[in-house]
Amino acid sequence: MSRIIMTAGINGAHKTAKQAEEMLAKAVEQKGRDCKVEFPNTGYYMPVIYSMTGRAVEKLADFEDVMAEEIKPLLPKLVDENLWLPYLGPALDAGMATLFAEEIIEACKYLIGPNPVDGIWLGAADDVILRERGIQFVDGTAPGFAAIVGSAPDVETAVKIARKCQERSLYVFMAGHHNGTTFAEQLVEGGVQLGWDTRLIPFGREITAAIYAAGFASRVALTFGGVQPGDYRRHLLYNKNRIFAFVVALGKVTDEWYATAAGAINYGFPTIADSDIPQVLPTGVCTYEHVVSNIPHDEIVEKAIEVRGLKIKVSEVPIPVSVSPAFEGERIRKEDMHCEFGGQRTPAFEWLRMLDIGEVEDGRVEVVGPDVDSLEVGGKMPLGIVVEVAGRKMQTDFEPVLERQVHTFMNEAQGLWHMGQRDISWVRISKDTAKAGFKLEHIGKLLHAMYHERYSNIIDKVQVKIFTDEEQVLKLSEMARKIWAVRDERLAGMTDEDVDTFYSCTLCQSFAPNHVCVVSPERPGLCGAYTWLDCRAAYEIIPTGPNQPIPKGKCIETTIGQWDKVNAFVLKASGGNVERMSQYSMITDPMTSCGCFECITAVLPSTGGIMIVNREFAEMTPCGMKFSTLAGTVGGGRQTPGFIGHSKHYIISRKFIAAEGGIRRIVWMPTMLKDEIKDAFIKRAEELELGGEEFLARIADETTATTEEEVLEFITKAGHPVTTLEPMF
């Protein structure tokens, strides 16, 4: 009977609202009305409240307004037992009020405790995670998420459910407890790795932590869906039709759970329960049923996917373990390892090369030398993986692009772990995977299947040879090294002048409709994920996709890097919004920024130089804004003279703001960024005769300067070359 659910949901909403009110009063008492509230390192204020009402909550006093002006008016009267009024609408409103209240509760926890981030519990996902993971919900790499509340009857069942979600590339967001334990704790006990890398995210022990799942969905819609705050209808429909999420309720469904589930139904996220609660089968708010119950645990994931209306392609790879992007981040600790290869312990390499179509026998896998079953637990042996591909559209230039996929593909197999590349690769096979019968030939079968699945447009045939004999491995890697050296030389030497075609990337137009990345050999896409070669390969794979060739045309201005055809392309691709775009200037018609940039460069006017901040750096920067605030100013597909978003790699490119003088202008970078790009940066500085290490030391960082004045002071003392340059504008 829905009436039971709706009644419970409305009751639960009242209870949760009361809890929020008390929590808020306590927070106000301890911290005062003006105390700032936020989820650390996130934009969009309280994301659910912000997206539904447009209210930007910044301090506790704003919560009091939300309580009085949003939550209270939304809370419906309790359902009459005899002559009830229609309750569906009111129950949905109650659900939304519950979400608002939960957001208040969790935000207050950050202020007055208990801290939501505690032990295994992660609390709110920060912006770095949102950009990295949220995009997967938009590009389809993540079909959706399962919000699992409560706990399974036992550890084994919990592990099975989680694995099934992983196999289907679903994220699992966990909150709430049942029977004294939680799903997350059960997974830990079952030896399953939690975290964003494995797509198993423990938000919190209480049901109120489910708000982080709703908040994540809301932030995806705001960031990637281009939905305006306060445009609640579009926001919820975006979630209903794009973010295929659902709730799995394990254990006794309390009033508060019902209330939260009602909130989720507003988003189009149905609830699938293992307990015998009433069902709500008619459709309309969600895509299909709203509440389905009494589902056995071994069917619950499949059932949930069906109820949500989700079609998921599970890779059918003929190997004894599952394959899914969700396993990509799984590490294998020494204790769980059956054997390993490479990693400075034995010689190992992987090498992909193109052959003539007649030289490749598709699907052939050859293993030369002893196999893993010859090893004791904890053993090691050499490993050489040679992938040979052929295809009518294959080109040698695509070899490096495809070779890098070995890393991704191997990690996607459960219980297989891969690190590094080329001859610094390192591979581990877990005990469970070895026990499942995994042999070296399965690596070959895996790679064969995955190349066909993801690159069928350029590859027709794939064969894989695997070597474990040390002598042979050494001999072959020697051969490969020669090829790599040639490749590197060609790549490093490749300049924008060498090519007459650049490539566009408009992948980010899904959320920044005016944005176009113009990718040239010396300026990769600002997200760092697309080099010129990648774009070229992507264009071959999907000729109508977001990467299109742009013939440069006539050069208009060399220093700032403008060409007539590039401008024409950008004008068209930006929907007429961007007339001119410079490839090498941050002052004159700079490139637009979508929001995915790895770094932001900003002018520090008084210093005559620029600062660069990377996404991972969460502290204040000398320009007076943190990365997240800066990102809001720079992103969204705007051209903002004096600011650009770019990849890390671009910093060491010869074309890095070449019009303004290049890396000479850099006066501030966080230490973590300095460390990350150190080697290449020093080389580049030497090329410019700036002195390698010395130049790096002349650049201020957060340990030496946190304000513009301090930067100026530091560089003056340090004798930074920028002091001798012309002003930037």
Q: What is the residue type of 105?
A: I
Rounded to the nearest whole angstrom, what is the least distance from the CB of residue 402 to Zn ion in the complex? Answer: 24
Nearer to another protein, 52 or 427 (CB): 52
Nearer to ligand SF4, 286 or 508 (CB): 508
Per-residue binder mask for Zn ion (CB under 5 A), 595-634, x = binder = -x--------------------------------------
From residue 707, alpha-carbon distances to 146, 599, 606, 624, 640 in Å are 44, 19, 11, 7, 22
User: Could you say whether residue 135 binds Zn ion (CB under 5 A)?
Assistant: no
Per-residue binder mask for another protein (CB under 8 A), 405-444, x = binder = ----------------------------------------
Q: What is the residue type of 34?
A: D
Please state the separation of Cα 179 from the chain's center in Å: 33
Question: Are the CB atoms for 711 and 608 separated by under 8 Å?
Answer: no
Distance, CA of 500 to CA of 661 (rounded, Å): 24
Residue 262, CA atoms < 13 Å, CB-side half-sphere:
35
Per-residue binder mask for Zn ion (CB under 5 A), 550-589, x = binder = ----------------------------------------
Nearer to ligand SF4, 149 or 630 (CB): 630
Question: Are the CB atoms for 198 and 165 separated by under 8 Å?
Answer: no
Sequence-distant (≥ 6) Cβ neighbours of residue 439 within 8 angstroms: 367, 371, 372, 373
Q: Binders of another protein: how many residues, by CB under 8 A?
A: 51
Rounded to the nearest whole angstrom, what is the least distance from the CB of residue 48 to another protein in the complex? Answer: 11
Sequence-distant (≥ 6) Cβ neighbours of residue 376 within 8 angstroms: none
Q: Which stretch binds another protein (CB under 8 A): 226-234, 324-332, 337-345, 590-598?
A: 226-234
**What strands lie across the sheet with 549-551, from one edge to the other?**
517-519, 501-505, 549-551
Bridging pattern class, strands 549-551 and 501-505:
antiparallel
Distance, CA of 5 to CA of 121 (rounded, Å): 29
Q: For another protein, which residue of 115, 228, 283, 396 counts as binding (CB under 8 A)?
A: 283
Nearer to ligand SF4, 253 or 596 (CB): 596
Q: Which does 530 bind (CB under 5 to 8 A by kind): another protein, ligand SF4, Zn ion, none?
A: ligand SF4
Distance, CA of 224 to CA of 655 (rounded, Å): 30
Start-end of H helices in 116-231:
127-129, 135-139, 155-167, 183-189, 211-224
Rounded to the nearest whole angstrom, what is the least distance from the CB of residue 134 to ligand SF4 in the complex? Answer: 13
Q: Which does 84 bind (CB under 5 to 8 A by kind): ligand SF4, Zn ion, another protein, none?
A: another protein
Q: Which does 3 bind (CB under 5 to 8 A by kind): Zn ion, another protein, ligand SF4, none?
A: another protein
Question: Are the CB atoms for 450 and 317 separated by under 8 Å?
Answer: yes
Distance, CA of 148 to CA of 145 (rounded, Å): 9
From residue 313, alpha-carbon distances to 119, 143, 167, 196, 288 in Å are 34, 9, 10, 21, 20
Q: For Zn ion, which residue of 594, 623, 682, 700 counts as binding (CB under 5 A)?
A: 594
Q: For Zn ion, which residue of 124, 508, 612, 666 counts as binding (CB under 5 A)?
A: 508
From residue 597, alpha-carbon distances to 515, 648, 666 in Å are 12, 9, 18
User: Could you say whether residue 89 binds another protein (CB under 8 A)?
Assistant: yes
User: Could you say whether residue 225 binds another protein (CB under 8 A)?
Assistant: yes
Nearer to ligand SF4, 268 or 525 (CB): 525
Question: Are the CB atoms for 506 and 556 separated by under 8 Å?
Answer: no
The angle at the Cα of 288, spanning 287 to 293, to the nearest 5 degrees, equals: 135
Nearer to another protein, 287 or 628 (CB): 287
Question: Are the CB atoms for 177 and 205 separated by under 8 Å?
Answer: yes
Per-residue binder mask for another protein (CB under 8 A), 2-21, x = binder = xx--x---------------
Residue 448, CA atoms < 13 Å, CB-side half-sphere:
21
Rounded to the nearest whole angstrom, what is the least distance from the CB of residue 422 to ligand SF4 in the complex? Answer: 24
Distance, CA of 102 to CA of 94 (rounded, Å): 12
Rounded to the nearest whole angstrom, what is the least distance from the CB of residue 572 to ligand SF4 in the complex? Answer: 16
Nearer to ligand SF4, 506 or 574 (CB): 506
Rounded to the nearest whole angstrom, what is the least distance from the CB of residue 517 to another protein in the complex? Answer: 20
User: Could you say whether residue 68 binds another protein (CB under 8 A)?
Assistant: no
> 611 forms bridges with which residues in the sheet?
602, 668
* Structure tokens that stand for 579 in this block: 């007339």
Per-residue binder mask for Zn ion (CB under 5 A), 405-444, x = binder = ----------------------------------------
- How far the first Cα of the chain sits from its last, in Å, is 70
Q: For another protein, which residue of 64, 190, 197, 232 counts as binding (CB under 8 A)?
A: 232
Q: Which does 599 bind (CB under 5 to 8 A by kind): another protein, ligand SF4, Zn ion, none?
A: none
Nearer to another protein, 170 or 389 (CB): 170
Rounded to the nearest whole angstrom, what is the least distance from the CB of residue 597 to Zn ion in the complex? Answer: 7
Could you list the beta-strand ranges (E) of 151-257. 171-175, 200-204, 246-250
3-state secondary structure of 195: strand
Rounded to the nearest whole angstrom, what is the least distance from the CB of residue 401 to another protein in the complex? Answer: 22
Per-residue binder mask for another protein (CB under 8 A), 137-166, x = binder = --xx--x-----------------------
User: Could you say whether residue 284 binds another protein (CB under 8 A)?
Assistant: yes
Helix (H) or strand (E) holding 17: helix 2-31
- Interface residues with ligand SF4 (CB under 6 A) are 505-508, 517, 525-527, 529-530, 594, 596
Q: Among 44, 260, 38, which residue's Cα sits nearest to residue 134?
A: 44
Rounded to the nearest whole angstrom, what is the least distance from the CB of residue 593 to ligand SF4 in the complex? Answer: 8
Nearer to ligand SF4, 293 or 510 (CB): 510
* Structure tokens that stand for 683 in this block: 């080389």
Question: Are the CB atoms for 664 and 722 separated by under 8 Å?
Answer: yes
Q: Which does 266 bind (CB under 5 to 8 A by kind): another protein, ligand SF4, Zn ion, none?
A: another protein
Rounded to the nearest whole angstrom, what is the least distance from the CB of residue 281 to another protein in the complex? Answer: 6
Q: Which does 282 bind (CB under 5 to 8 A by kind): Zn ion, ligand SF4, another protein, none?
A: another protein
3-state secondary structure of 413: strand
Q: For another protein, which residue of 280, 339, 537, 623 counts as binding (CB under 8 A)?
A: 280
Segment 288 to 327, residues that bind another protein, using CB under 8 A: 288, 290, 305-306, 309-313
Distance, CA of 255 to CA of 512 (rounded, Å): 40
Question: DSSP letter string over 534-557?
Answer: HHHHHHHH-TTSS--EEE--SEEE
User: Could you say whether residue 96 binds another protein (CB under 8 A)?
Assistant: yes
Distance, CA of 674 to CA of 371 (rounded, Å): 43
User: Tokens 């589930």 sit at which residue?
Assistant: 261
User: Could you say whether residue 102 binds another protein (CB under 8 A)?
Assistant: no
Nearer to Zn ion, 290 or 515 (CB): 515
Rounded to the nearest whole angstrom, what is the least distance from the CB of residue 315 to ligand SF4 in the complex? Answer: 24
Radius of gyration for the alpha carbons in the chain, expressed in angstroms and rounded = 28
Rounded to the nearest whole angstrom, what is the least distance from the CB of residue 64 to another protein in the complex? Answer: 21
Rounded to the nearest whole angstrom, what is the least distance from the CB of residue 242 to another protein in the complex? Answer: 6
Start-end of H helices in 470-621:
470-493, 532-541, 564-573
Question: Are the CB atoms for 131 and 124 separated by under 8 Å?
Answer: no
Binding residues (CB under 5 A) for Zn ion: these are 508, 594, 596
Binding residues (CB under 8 A) for another protein: these are 1-3, 6, 52, 74, 79, 83-93, 95-96, 139-140, 143, 225, 227, 232-234, 236-238, 241-242, 244, 266, 280-285, 287-288, 290, 305-306, 309-313
